[in-house]
């Protein structure tokens, strides 16, 4: 195994029990053999991916890491694992002092009821450019062990930074995800993208222009100052102009339409419920 155990215990959040971290950085990617936990076989799409692509999604679904997963989770399994995934991520970032905020589908879920939308199978967050440098420098390949309500014996999550995060060029299309927070038990992950100054736009006089490698662009005042809120019961940061950001990305209807993806929003309970009894959806 690539990891070495750190003896100190981190105190934040009752969940956290310990941390392991990588040895000296090696000049190769974190292949199956170096990170494998329980699988006998690598299910990553690495073989079919272009060489320049760093993160390899699984061969069976783009929202799983095939080094840790051999199958898609069921609707109920996902609904149990995703909140733990985001809680442990937020606890860790809070603990190491790394600023992060919700974006995309996770921000929309926050808008409705401060939760992950039940049909979602991924979570999207952003960090600033200085934070991605910090994570790359000190926490790449760090494994964090947490006790969660569903796994009281503890389970492991890994923070992995794409070495191509330093390439700030939207033509590097295969590496728009700058880092991932991955559940080493089932391969679910959080996509972490860095928001950086758009130097071209700034040179043209747009002082607050920001960009991500995935081509999303913002103004500084859209995101900052970040707002404090809660998500899945944990403290979280939200971009300042969240409604405008959501409307631009998903349209005005996304903020008012109460039937979506086979679910209806129950205003009283503040929950998305499957429209049909027994309905189960794989996103
Ligand atoms: C993180 O570690 C992996 C495995 O050693 C390595 O392939 C990758 O280049 C590292 N990322 C950064 C940003 O150094
Ligand atoms: C950066 O700004 C330039 C000039 O406004 C624009 O053409 C380009 O699309 C922007 N890049 C991104 C990734 O937003």
> Is residue 34 classed exposed, middle or buried when 0-12, 13-18 and 19+ CB atoms within 10 A define those classes?
middle
Query: How far is C-alpha 238 from the geometric centre of its chain's CA atoms?
Result: 14
Dist. CA 171–CA 151, nearest whole Å: 41
Ligand 2 contact via 81 beta carbon (within 6 Å): no
C-alpha 90/C-alpha 97 separation (Å) is: 10
Q: Say if 179 falls within a structural domain.
A: yes
245, pLDDT greater than 90: yes
Mutational pocket test of ligand 2: of 167, 170, 199, 201, the residue with most ligand atoms within 8 Å of the beta carbon: 201
**Does residue 36 lie within any of the structural domains?**
no
Report if residue 265 sits inside a domain: no
Domain membership flag for residue 32:
no
Distance in angstroms (rounded) separating the CA atoms of residues 258 and 154: 37
Residue 210 bridge partners (DSSP): 197, 218
Looking at the structure of the chain, the number of domains it has is 1
| Residue 258 lies inside a defined structural domain of this protein | no
DSSP code for 9: P
Write out the residue range of the structural domain in which residue 101 sits. 4-25+56-253
How large is the average pLDDT for residues 179-183?
A: 96
51 located within any domain? no
In a domain, residue 213? The reply is: yes
Asked if 86 and 105 count as a contact pair (C-beta separation under 8 A), the reply is no
Shortest-distance ligand to the CA of residue 195: 2
C-alpha to C-alpha distance for 213 and 168, rounded to whole angstroms: 7
Dihedral of the alpha carbons of 250, 253, 255, 258, in degrees to the nearest 10: -120
Residue 20, burial from CB neighbour count under 10 angstroms (0-12, 13-18, 19+):
middle
Tell me the CA–centroid distance for residue 260 and ligand 1, in Å.
39
Nearest CA residue ID for atom 11, ligand 1: 163
pLDDT tens digits, one per residue of 189-224: 999 999 999 999 999 999 999 999 988 999 999 999
The ligand whose atoms approach the alpha carbon of 179 most closely is 1
Place of tokens 């999207």: 124
Report d(CA 202, CA 247) in Å as an integer: 25
Any residues with CB less than 8 A from the CB of 38 and at least 6 apart, and which? 185
Render pLDDT for 66-109 as a digit per residue (tens, 0 to 9): 889 889 999 899 999 999 999 999 999 999 999 999 999 999 99
- Is residue 115 within 8 A of residue 140, CB to CB? The reply is no
In whole angstroms, give the CA distance from residue 132 to residue 197: 13
Show the tokens assigned to 170.
């939207």
Q: Which residues line ligand 1 (CB under 6 A)?
A: 25-26, 28-30, 136, 140-141, 161, 163
**Which of the ligands is closest to the CA of residue 137?**
1
Closest ligand 1 atom to 25 CA: 5
Mean pLDDT for the stretch of residues 179-190: 95
Report which DSSP code applies to 49: S
Q: Does residue 185 sit within a domain?
A: yes
Please indicate whether residue 115 or residue 19 has the higher confidence score (pLDDT): 115
- pLDDT for residue 13 is more than 50: no
């Amino acid at each position: 195994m690539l990891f070495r155990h750190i003896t100190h215990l981190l105190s934040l959040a009752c969940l956290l029990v310990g941390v392991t971290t990588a040895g000296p950085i090696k000049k190769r990617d974190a292949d199956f053999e170096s990170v494998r936990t329980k699988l006998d076989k690598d299910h990553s799409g690495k073989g079919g991916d272009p060489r320049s692509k760093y993160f390899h999604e699984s061969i069976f679904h783009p929202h799983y890491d095939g080094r840790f997963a051999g199958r898609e989770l069921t609707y109920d399994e996902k609904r149990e694992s995703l909140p733990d995934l985001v809680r442990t991520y937020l606890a860790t970032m809070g603990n190491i002092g790394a600023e992060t905020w919700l974006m995309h589908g996770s921000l929309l879920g926050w808008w409705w009821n401060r939760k992950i939308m039940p049909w979602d199978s991924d979570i999207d967050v952003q960090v600033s450019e200085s934070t991605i440098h910090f994570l790359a420098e000190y926490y790449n390949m760090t494994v964090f062990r947490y006790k969660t309500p569903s796994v009281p014996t503890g389970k492991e999550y890994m923070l992995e930074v794409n070495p191509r995060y330093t390439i700030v060029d939207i033509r590097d299309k295969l590496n728009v995800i700058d880092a991932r927070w991955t559940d080493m038990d089932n391969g679910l992950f959080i996509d972490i993208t860095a928001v950086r100054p758009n130097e071209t736009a700034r040179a043209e006089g747009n002082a607050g222009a920001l960009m991500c490698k995935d081509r999303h662009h913002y103004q500084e005042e859209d995101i900052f100052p970040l707002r404090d809120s809660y998500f899945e019961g944990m403290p979280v940061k939200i971009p300042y102009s969240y409604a405008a950001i959501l409307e631009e990305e998903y349209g005005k209807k996304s903020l008012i339409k109460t039937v979506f993806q086979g679910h209806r929003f129950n205003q009283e309970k503040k929950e998305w419920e499957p429209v049909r009894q027994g309905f189960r959806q794989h996103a």
